[in-house]
Structures are given as structure tokens and as C-alpha cells.
């Protein structure tokens, strides 16, 4: 009986440790590389900045499309043009 309680206690402790580890990792929501895919501005719905100062390993611009997210190199001229395009479309929509 005592060994059964000990096994149950060990299982509960293992589960708690595992869930706290899984909850603290955020790599699934980080860009880990840049896409080489060319994007059409009219399909972009927005973008966000990913900073290396947070839990992610690279600086990136995450472009939002209706069905997915695409990671881009923030230092590239094409990325800057796409960001400007999204900003201009949002300004026009507000006017």
C-alpha cells in the first residue's frame, strides 16, 4: 500500500514538473529562420516585430496572412517595403 502511494506521488510530481516546463517554453511561437518567399502586399493583413531580447533567437518581422504567418529578415529592403505597404493600407482604411 505504501509503495502504491509513493508511485502515485512520484507520478503527480513528474506531471507537475513536466507541465511547468512545457508552459515556460515559447519557442513554438518564435521565428527560427527567414522565409525566402516573396509576398504580395494585398494579401498581408499585418505584421509584428520579434526581438532577440525576448525568448526568441532572431530578430524578425512576422507578416500575417489570412492562413499563415511568414518570418522575414528585418534588415532586407523587401521586408521594409512590405511593412510600408501594410502601414499605408491601414492608414488609408482609417481615413
Domain ranges of the chain: 2-94
Tell me, which fold does domain 2-94 have in CATH?
OB fold (Dihydrolipoamide Acetyltransferase, E2P) (2.40.50)
Pairing of strands 69-72, 46-50: unpaired
CA neighbours within 13 Å on the CB side: how many for 24? 6
pTM, two decimal places = 0.67
Which one, of 73, 76, 66, lies nearest residue 42 by Cα?
Answer: 66
Per-residue pLDDT of the chain (95 residues; tens, 9 = 90+): 566 655 444 543 443 343 333 333 333 489 999 999 889 999 999 999 999 988 898 999 999 999 999 999 999 999 999 999 999 999 998 98
Amino acid at each position: 500500500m505504501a509503495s502504491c502511494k509513493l508511485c502515485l506521488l512520484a507520478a503527480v510530481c513528474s506531471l507537475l514538473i513536466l507541465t511547468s516546463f512545457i508552459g515556460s517554453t515559447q519557442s513554438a511561437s518564435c521565428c527560427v529562420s527567414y522565409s525566402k518567399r516573396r509576398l504580395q502586399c494585398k494579401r498581408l493583413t499585418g505584421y509584428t516585430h520579434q526581438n532577440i531580447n525576448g525568448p526568441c533567437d532572431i530578430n524578425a518581422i512576422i507578416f500575417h496572412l489570412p492562413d499563415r504567418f511568414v518570418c522575414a529578415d528585418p534588415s532586407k529592403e523587401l521586408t521594409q517595403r512590405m511593412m510600408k505597404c501594410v502601414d499605408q493600407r491601414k492608414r488609408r482604411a482609417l481615413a
